[in-house]
């Protein structure tokens, strides 16, 4: 089993739609979690950290489910500019290395 | 507001040549790392460092060397370039604990 797994997609959604991605992790001791956004051929950029209580930033909501070992990202009112690959990142805390998922591709169409 | 700076942005090498990819950060981060990303694949960790004088191997270290003589700089050396090393390379840094990574703009390397 991979340490961090994501559905590669693509998720094709119309503008205005709500879309959600999940990311599962294998190490139950993992302490910190992040969602990054990566545009084609660009560097990943931090979208949001994921806290135990869940957090929201505008149209974006991140949740952590420790019992089932997954994190989620919800995007409401999708915009064309949301089209990108979304990377899930986990700090397992057993090493110094952050573990990246392979990403979920989102395509928002008019 | 430099953050993480990588040079060069693009590089073409012939098989067998060596070169150094530069990475510098001005945020006083202890943790620095190098990743490669190939088409359709995720980021794979090459080497990382938890502080000056300390380096360790990641998932795909073969063919690469690193050193960390200062907190700011973390160069990646390709010893003898091979076509399999054609990739996009990202340098990233962070504080420890629960801090996220900050990425450089990437170096696009082609080995012919």
Rounded CA-CA distance B59/A2 in Å is 13
The token duo for A78 is 């999708």
User: Which of B96, B98, B105 is nearest residue A43 as measured by Cβ atoms?
Assistant: B105
pLDDT of B7-23, one tens digit each?
A: 999 999 999 999 999 99
d(CA B93, CA B68): 13
Angstrom distance (rounded) from CA B83 to CA B99? 35
> Considering only CB atoms, which chain A residues are within 8 Å of B58?
97
CA distance B80 to chain A (A): 25
Minimum distance, in Å, between the CA of residue A8 and any CA atom of chain B: 9
Q: Considering only the C-alpha atoms of chain A, give the largest distance between any 2 of them, rounded to a whole number of Å.
A: 44
State the pLDDT at residue B15: 97
Kindly report the number of other CB atoms within 10 A of residue B2's CB atom: 9
User: How confident is the model over A59-82, as a mean pLDDT?
Assistant: 96
B19 in contact with chain A, both atoms CB, cutoff 8 A: no
> What digits encode the pLDDT tens for the residues B61-92?
999 999 999 999 999 999 999 999 999 999 99
- Per the CB < 8 A criterion, the answer to whether A62 and A55 are in contact is yes
Q: Is A61 left (phi over 0), alpha (psi -120 to 50) or beta?
A: beta
pLDDT in tens, A11-51: 999 999 999 999 999 988 888 899 999 998 899 999 999 98
């Amino acid at each position: 089993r991979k340490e961090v797994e994501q559905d590669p997609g693509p998720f094709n959604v119309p503008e205005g739609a709500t879309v959600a991605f999940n990311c599962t992790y294998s190490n139950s001791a993992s302490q910190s979690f992040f969602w990054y956004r990566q545009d084609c051929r660009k560097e990943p950029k931090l979208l949001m950290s994921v806290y135990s209580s869940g957090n929201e930033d505008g149209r974006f909501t991140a949740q952590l489910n420790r019992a089932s070992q997954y994190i989620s990202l919800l995007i409401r009112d999708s915009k064309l500019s949301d089209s990108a690959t979304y990377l899930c990142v986990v700090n397992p805390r057993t090493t110094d290395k952050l573990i990246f998922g392979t990403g979920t591709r989102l395509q928002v169409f008019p | 507001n430099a953050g993480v700076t990588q040079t060069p942005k693009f590089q073409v090498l012939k098989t067998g040549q060596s070169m150094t990819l530069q990475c510098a950060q001005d945020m006083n981060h202890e943790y620095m790392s190098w990743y490669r990303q190939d088409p359709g694949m995720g980021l794979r960790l090459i080497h990382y460092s938890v502080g000056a004088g300390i380096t360790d191997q990641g998932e795909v270290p073969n063919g690469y060397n690193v050193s960390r003589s200062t907190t700011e700089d973390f160069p990646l050396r390709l010893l003898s370039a091979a076509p399999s090393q054609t990739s996009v390379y990202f340098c990233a840094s962070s504080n420890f604990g629960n801090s996220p990574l900050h990425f450089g703009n990437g170096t696009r390397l082609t080995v012919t």
